[in-house]
Amino acid sequence: MNVIYSKHYNINLGLLNYLHPFDGTKFKTIYKNLKSNDLINFIEPPEATSQEIIDNFLSGMMQKKVKDKTFVFRALELPSIPLVSFSLLDRKILSPMRWGIAGTILGAEKALQNGGLYWNLSGGYHHATPQNMEGFCIYNDIGICYQQLLNNNLLSENDKILIIDTDAHHGNGNAYTFMENKNVTILDVYNANIYPTSNDSRNRVDIPVPLTLGTERDLYMQRYEAALKKLDNDYRLAFVVAGTDVLLNDKLGGFCLNIDDVAEREKLTIQALNQRSIPTLFLGGGGYSKDSAQSVIRAISACVLPN
């Protein structure tokens, strides 16, 4: 398996880390635990995605908002701190996210060129759109990546793309970003009782799997397997937002899965996509528990083992 990682992914704000439940340094924990695995090939984006590429995706108003700390703090769900400058936010949080976008673009390019499976430890910013940022998502990396693949002639506008979102939160940003693009199929497994609750974005999902607070393994897997069977065979590329916020001890997800369940979920996803010969890129997605890093480690380790 090819895993995409950069030391620049990590978000470390010191004491300010405690203001948000997301573990911004889990990426290096995952890397340290997997780097000795001979079945894993680590690759690294050469540089962060430029602001120019991102601005080409954003609306005019959003180009200004992503450079304004008031709006950025709001999207990060952090209290506005007067002594924290935008330059610090940009260096400590936004720059790591731009590196995450670069990893998504690199993985998608490699998957299209070589086939098979790539796994970006970062990315999966599925609440952002060209017009908005929210839910700790500043930039929509799948949307920006799709734009670049079109610009570089690696995809055509007629190519069918698949987004599988298994993050506990509905991917409203992806739904809005691709609202009018019927060549993009969205399968979304989410907790219907929690944020975000927009019916407009939920109605855009082609294969919806809404679940309820407290959903446990058996029902989750049953509903997810049934959804995977509805997929077509002719997608040029699949993006998988593989959030770990489905874990029982996650502060925000509201589901009751354990680490082994998440590993089984990822194996089900890979099996379904391999059967259809669809090049695939996994993305980090959300995860707000102390077990998030270990869950990714277990999942990747399980997925690289021979059947």
SS3 183: coil
Angle at 263 between CA 262 and CA 266, to 5 degrees: 85
pLDDT of residue 12: 79
pLDDT band at 84 (very low <50, low <70, confident <90, very high): confident
Cβ atoms < 10 Å from Cβ of 113: 9
pLDDT of residue 159: 98
Q: Which domains does the chain have, with CATH numbers?
A: 2-304 (3.40.800.20)
Percent of the chain with pLDDT over 90: 91
Rounded CA gap, 181 and 194, in Å? 26
| Closest to 284 measured CA to CA, from 23, 13, 76 | 23
pLDDT of residue 19: 59
Per-residue pLDDT of 196-234, as tens digits, reads 999 999 999 999 999 999 999 999 999 999 999 999 999
**Residue 158 near residue 183, CB atoms below 8 Å:** yes
Using the predicted structure, report yes or no on whether residue 21 has a pLDDT greater than 80: no
Percent of the chain with pLDDT over 70: 96
DSSP structural state of residue 136:
T
Cβ atoms < 10 Å from Cβ of 129: 25
Angle at 242 between CA 236 and CA 244, to 5 degrees: 180
Cβ atoms < 10 Å from Cβ of 223: 15
Using the predicted structure, report yes or no on whether residue 49 has a pLDDT greater than 80: yes
Peptide bond preceding 46 in cis form (omega within 30 of 0): no
Q: Specify which residues 177 forms β-bridges with.
A: none
Rounded CA gap, 301 and 290, in Å? 19
Using the predicted structure, report yes or no on whether residue 269 has a pLDDT greater than 80: yes
Residue 76, CA distances (Å) to 73, 137, 161, 166, 271 in order: 5, 7, 28, 21, 35
Q: Tell me the average pLDDT across 35-62.
A: 97
| pTM, entire model | 0.96
pLDDT of residue 20: 61
Per-residue pLDDT of 93-148, as tens digits, reads 999 999 999 999 999 999 999 999 999 999 999 999 999 999 999 999 999 999 99
